[in-house]
Amino acid sequence: MAVISFKCPNCDGELIFDPSTQKYKCEYCMSLFSQAELEAMKPAAASDKSGTPDQSGGEKKDASGMRDAAGSASDRAGSEAAQEEAVIYTCPSCGAEIITDQTTAATFCYYCHNPVVIGGRLSGELLPNRVIPFEVTRQDAEKKFLDYVSTKRFVPRAFFDKKQIERLSGVYFPYWLYDVELEGRMDGTARNIRVWRTGDVEYTETKHYAIRREGDISLKNLPENALRKANAKLAAGVLPYDFHRMKEFHMGYLSGFLAECRDIRQTEVAAKMQSEMRESAQKLMRDTVTGFNSVTMQRSDFRPKREGWSYVLLPVWTITYRGRNGKVYYYSMNGQNGRVCGELPVDRKKLALTSGLAGLLALMLGLIGGFFI
């Protein structure tokens, strides 16, 4: 199962995922099929390809030097090391060669323009857990893009001429999602001061408080880029997504779009995401201490009780444009809600709080009384 394309049972045309109906559409006879119907016909689509060699047989090493590069990474899982090499597949529709990048998971045949999904890149441990299907159609994306650039001054005309807009691509990008339930505790002191005057005497009352916060905080869906070549600012800039609308992964969603599979392992991002979550949890708990003139937290300790990771594909409409000075400009749009981002810096901490945070499960407050001095 190297290359998959989904064929219309009525006319044998290619089926692509249609964001406006959330169904599969044949662009030749305009038939629409649901996810269930597509799955029912999947074996037929796969058996079509019985003549296509499987992934290991179908791929050619593109240079002998590549073997050495892959060999040096032999400590990695075998299937992941295999992704290091550029490979050539055969188009199931016209038989032409499809040359892919090392992380391509869905693309178009250069010759017949039919959409193809590289199944082997999305199987085994590289099988995504979930996907957010495109909801913004190409027409909407083009319109939003034009609206966006027309509000910007100093944008070169070439950036939004017709040819450039045709290059707008719908791409599924790979992300890690991290969930954690933290058990935390904080200790500190706080002070309230009140000053009043009676006759000639000024009184100052200082109340000292010992503060303790203890509780479990559950944080969900902190996303992190899982593609080495992705532009880091854009990968963060298209966030947040509504992760409640994630779907079980099916390859059909990729048909008609480009897709990249991950080449960054969970272990490479784990430490960073764990510390971001700890900081977020700490801030959340700290924010529950209110109503004092001054607060000093002395100790805080957060430990993960439960952790969960998933590998997801998220939809992005994107254009890359090389300016005259050689600088590469990026434009991306969240393919779920149409939110636009250029090359804007993103505050990761804020992001974790607004998009990542699902809720405070149980925050038990242990305020240990106030006393006078």
Residues that bind Zn ion (CB under 5 A): 8, 10-11, 13, 26, 28-29, 31, 91, 93-94, 96, 109, 111-112
Which is closer to Zn ion, CB of 12 or CB of 62? 12
| Least distance from Zn ion to the Cβ atom of residue 316, Å | 25
Residue 13 DSSP label:
P
CA atoms within 13 A on the CB side of 49: 26
CB-nearer residue toward Zn ion: 99 or 346: 99
Contact present, 269 and 224 (Cβ < 8 Å): yes
C-alpha–C-alpha distance, residues 335 and 316, integer Å = 5
Q: Quote helix, strand, coil % in the chain, to nearest 5.
A: 30, 40, 35
Which is closer to Zn ion, CB of 115 or CB of 128? 115
CA atoms of 280 and 286, how far apart (whole Å): 10
Supply the minimum distance, in Å, between the C-beta of residue 113 and Zn ion.
7
Q: How far is the CB of 109 from Zn ion (least distance, A)?
A: 3
Select 26 or 190, whichever has its Cβ closest to Zn ion.
Answer: 26
CB 84, CB 97: distance < 8 Å: no
In whole angstroms, the minimum distance from the beta carbon of 337 to Zn ion comes to 30
Burial of 327 (0-12, 13-18, 19+ CB in 10 A): exposed
Q: How far is the CB of 120 from Zn ion (least distance, A)?
A: 18
Distance CA 309, CA 290 (A): 34
Type of residue found at 158: A
Q: State the CB neighbour count (10 A cutoff) for residue 150.
A: 10
Contact indicator for 29, 12 with CB cutoff of 8 Å: no
Write out the two tokens for 62: 């593109």
CA 183 – CA 56 distance, rounded (Å): 46
CB of 272 to Zn ion, least distance (A): 41
One DSSP character per residue, 263-330 reads -S-HHHHHHHHHHHHHHHHHHHHHTT--S-SEEEEEEEEEEEEEEEEEEEEEEEEEEEEE-TTSPEEE
Q: How far is the CB of 86 from Zn ion (least distance, A)?
A: 19
Q: Which residues pair with 108 in a beta bridge?
A: 115
In SS3 terms, 46-98 reads as: HHHHHHCCCHHHHCCCCCHHHHHHHHHCCCCCHHHHHCCCCEEEECCCCCCEE
Euclidean distance between CA atoms 195 and 215, whole angstroms: 35
Closest contact distance (angstroms) between CB of 25 and Zn ion is 9
Which of 109, 277 has the CB closer to Zn ion? 109
11 or 344: whose CB is closer to Zn ion?
Answer: 11
Nearer to Zn ion, 15 or 182 (CB): 15
Task: Please identify, using beta-carbon distances, which residue of 90 and 282 lies nearer to Zn ion.
Answer: 90
Nearer to Zn ion, 109 or 312 (CB): 109
Least separation in angstroms between residue 97's CB and Zn ion is 9
**11/77 with CB nearer Zn ion:** 11
In whole angstroms, how close is the CB of 259 to Zn ion at the nearest point?
A: 17
